[in-house]
Chain A
Amino acid sequence: MNYLSFEPEDFATDAFFCSWVLHPTSETEQFWLDWLRDHPSKARDIELARQMVLLASSDESEVPGSETIDRIWQGIEDGKNRKTIIFTNRMLWVKAAAAVVLLLLAFGGYFYRQGQNRTYRTAFGESRRVLLPDGSLVTLNANSKLRVADRWGRRTEREVWLEGEAFFSVSKLKKAGRSVKFTVHTHDLNVEVRGTEFNVNTRQDQTRVVLSEGLVHLRLNDLPEKEIRMKPGDLVDFSRNRKELRIRHLPDASPVYSWKNNRWTLNDASLAEIAVLIQETYGVTVIIEADSLRQQTVNGIVPTDNMGDLLSALESILPVTITHQERRVTIRGRPD
């Protein structure tokens, strides 16, 4: 397929492109990130096409309530020829037994692994996935630290402490019939959840929480009586030092945590903002030579698994020249 001659609407109607946007797999991720790396000038078109597909895949129509579902079903039951229901499905029992065995195995492993107090760290330019004892998955962004409480199994609560940025995919856990809370502590607040997906970022003297799925409760440090309930797509910024609380709703929250798939999704991001991101992620100093450049905005998807690729992608999107020496990155305007 020759994607080079594609317009945004051609991408948006391409089945392979759509499957990447709607149900990314490691194979499609690999393909499109490689393709973007080879053709950085298409970043803007790709992001536009991605937004078109996301928009096209939305559906605001009414969902039937459980009463409606039951009522229609009752009508069907009444209408069809009645027959007695006999449960002869032996497979059901086999499946149930298998599930119990799996559960036992899982909990065996769970108790076996308790009693470890661990801290996971990432260097600049590095990200890693951490599987917690309860099966929750944490993707730790560059230059971040995650401490996991010791003797987790005995506590009634699952607790971790975060500095930096991480995406949490928390699995539901029940003990003695009650669901066990999962808490992320940061300098500014506590994020309390049962089972859900969310992003936490403690850089820049504040904590930013973005919820992808499920429900989250925030408890602000110093203000323990204040509880904030978040819904999917909500973004909360709280700074204890500056005593600032901001809550917003994003139509599409996924760009916030696209870093976990080795890319940044930039929607009207200014070069100044991108410079801060680069500093935080790769541990370099970024200098933008002309002030007029700082407010220049960028739209597109850029690869981030190494800084070189990222910088050349930016060079092909913006009229700039970027040089990288030692730990210093300099961005200069380029005459058109």
Chain B
Amino acid sequence: MNDSDLWRSFRSGDETAFSMLYKTHIEVLYRYGHKLTGDTQLVEDSIQDMFIELWNSRQRLSDTDSIKYYLFRVLRRKITQHPLNRNAAGAGAELSAFEHRFFSHSTESELIDTENELGRTHALGHALTQLPPRQQEVVNLRYYHEFNHQQIAEIMNISLQSVHNTLQKSMKGLRELLFQKKSQLLG
């Protein structure tokens, strides 16, 4: 069943379609939620509320051919505007989650690097977390979740041009980080 059909079945009140909707998207939603906030409870509550609201308002929803995109847009709004989100007020609210992850990782990653041979995996994995938070989110949406530029612009509520620019900048940054890591490993 493709997304449009599944969505239509769900909107017509099909409970099986609804649980399928949940099962197939819970993991990506949970992961993305944790990129937006370090608060697990907030992520779980937001996902729960989102699905309850979806069910209750199903007859009023419009068609969609990408459920994941639809859900990401709603979830991001929910988390960033949640009253319990301590960072909700002010611009750049959701960024602190990324920063938090980055700082808590850096010392840990040094330990891992010296401790075992697998250091390189971690060293490279952490290269991503050295990008500025907004770049990390755009990169995650583009390369991990594989949304197109237009969808990313809508999800994050930014302009198409700024998606382009942010991606270009992120990749330049990654290239430099790859070079640095490589020379560190060789040197």
B-binding segment of A54-62, A112-120, A123-131, A195-203: A54-62
Assembled-state Cα–Cα distance A297/B130 (Å) = 29
- Chain B CB within 8 A of A22 CB: yes
Using A63-B27, A76-B48, A80-B52 as known contacts, say yes or no to A58 and B128 having CB atoms under 8 A apart: yes
* A56→B56 contact, CB < 8 A: no
Using A18-B143, A76-B52 as known contacts, say yes or no to A83 and B15 having CB atoms under 8 A apart: yes
* A55→B22 contact, CB < 8 A: no
Using A62-B30, A80-B56 as known contacts, say yes or no to A251 and B48 having CB atoms under 8 A apart: no
Using A52-B171, A73-B22, A249-B121 as known contacts, say yes or no to A63 and B52 having CB atoms under 8 A apart: no
Interface residue tally on A, bucketed by range? 35 or more
* A251→B140 contact, CB < 8 A: no
* B118→A249 contact, CB < 8 A: yes
* B22→A249 contact, CB < 8 A: no
* A9→B48 contact, CB < 8 A: no
- Chain A CB within 8 A of B26 CB: yes
Q: Which listed residue (B48, B56, B121, B143) contacts A75, Cβ 8 A?
A: B48
Using A76-B48, A249-B117 as known contacts, say yes or no to A56 and B170 having CB atoms under 8 A apart: yes
B146: A residues at CB distance < 8 A: 22
Main secondary structure of the interface of B (DSSP, over half): helix
- Chain B CB within 8 A of A176 CB: no
How many chain-B residues does the 8 Å CB contact rule pick out?
43
B39: A residues at CB distance < 8 A: none
- Please give the distance in Å from B9's CB to the nearest CB on chain A: 9
Over the window 25-51 of chain B, the binary record of Cβ atoms lying under 8 Å from chain A Cβ atoms (1 yes, 0 no) is: 011001100110000000010011101
- Chain A CB within 8 A of B127 CB: yes
* B27→A64 contact, CB < 8 A: yes
Assembled-state Cα–Cα distance A48/B179 (Å) = 10
Q: Which of B132-180 contact A (CB under 8 A)?
A: 139-140, 142-144, 146, 148, 167-168, 170-172, 174-175, 178
- Chain A CB within 8 A of B55 CB: yes
Q: Which residue of chain A has the shortest Cβ distance to B173 in the bound complex?
A: A9
* A61→B167 contact, CB < 8 A: no
- Chain A CB within 8 A of B120 CB: yes
- Chain B CB within 8 A of A15 CB: yes
Assembled-state Cα–Cα distance A13/B56 (Å) = 40
* A81→B22 contact, CB < 8 A: no
A73: B residues at CB distance < 8 A: 19, 22, 26
- Chain B CB within 8 A of A79 CB: yes
* A15→B148 contact, CB < 8 A: yes
- Chain A CB within 8 A of B92 CB: no
Q: Which of A65-102 contact B (CB under 8 A)?
A: 68-69, 71-73, 75-76, 79-81, 83, 85, 87, 89
- Chain A CB within 8 A of B89 CB: no
- Chain B CB within 8 A of A226 CB: no
* B124→A251 contact, CB < 8 A: yes
Assembled-state Cα–Cα distance A68/B44 (Å) = 9
- Chain A CB within 8 A of B13 CB: yes
B124: A residues at CB distance < 8 A: 55, 251
- Please give the distance in Å from A237's CB to the nearest CB on chain B: 14
Assembled-state Cα–Cα distance A76/B51 (Å) = 6
A22: B residues at CB distance < 8 A: 143, 146
* B44→A61 contact, CB < 8 A: no
Binding site for B on A (CB under 8 A): 8-9, 12-13, 15, 18, 22, 48, 51-53, 55-64, 68-69, 71-73, 75-76, 79-81, 83, 85, 87, 89, 233, 248-249, 251
A-B contact pairs, 13 of them (CB 8 A): A13-B167, A22-B143, A22-B146, A48-B178, A51-B178, A59-B140, A68-B44, A69-B27, A76-B22, A81-B55, A87-B16, A249-B117, A249-B118
Considering the complex of A and B, which 4 residue pairs feature the smallest CB-CB distances, nearest first? A9-B171, A56-B143, A79-B52, A57-B143
